[in-house]
Amino acid sequence: MKKVIFLCFILTMYFSGIAQSQKKGNADQSTNKVEAFYFHNATRCVTCKAVEAEAKADLESLYGTQVTFQSLNLEDDATKPIAEKLQVSGQTLLIVKGDQKINLTNEGFLYARTNPAKFKKVIKEKVDKLLEL
């Protein structure tokens, strides 16, 4: 099971990769709204599900409706346009405001299951900076 989780993590890092720079376009560059997007595949491991659940719960508890959260299946045709616009090709957790993008995929896979308090702290730190802009 650990090998499957590790493989899932490695593949996620490969596909979300360098193309996910911190400052490239977003779904709606004219907005000052902070949005969170979790892109995933149809087949998901326990860690993938934990990243989604923890990120969603953390954002809701910290910011209520001030920050929106969307979970999007990359295999769904309706998701493809937004994935292309955000330059996402694999499992990715993005926080977006205007032309700012923060990729929290690595932190999600590292901490969502093993240290959710640390994951929440990272989310708060990154989102607070975006809200100040």
In order along its 133 residues, the chain shows pLDDT tens digits of 555 454 455 545 544 443 343 333 334 444 689 999 999 999 999 999 999 999 999 999 999 999 999 999 999 999 999 999 999 999 999 999 998 999 999 999 999 999 999 999 999 999 999 998 7
* DSSP SS3 for 90: coil
Q: What is the DSSP string of 100-130?
A: EEEE-HHHHHHHTTT-HHHHHHHHHHHHHHH
pLDDT at residue number 18: 35
Total domains, the chain: 1
d(CA 113, CA 55): 11
| CATH code: domain of residue 78 | 3.40.30.10
CA distances 127 to 3, 41, 57, Å, are 32, 25, 14
pLDDT at residue number 39: 97
pLDDT at residue number 2: 55
Q: What residues does 7 pair with on adjacent strands?
A: none
Q: Which domain holds residue 41?
A: 2-132
pTM for the complete prediction?
Answer: 0.77
Extract the tokens encoding 2.
Answer: 């650990």
Asked whether the beta carbons of 93 and 105 are under 8 A apart, the reply is yes
Of 57, 41, 27, 40, the residue nearest 105 (C-alpha):
40
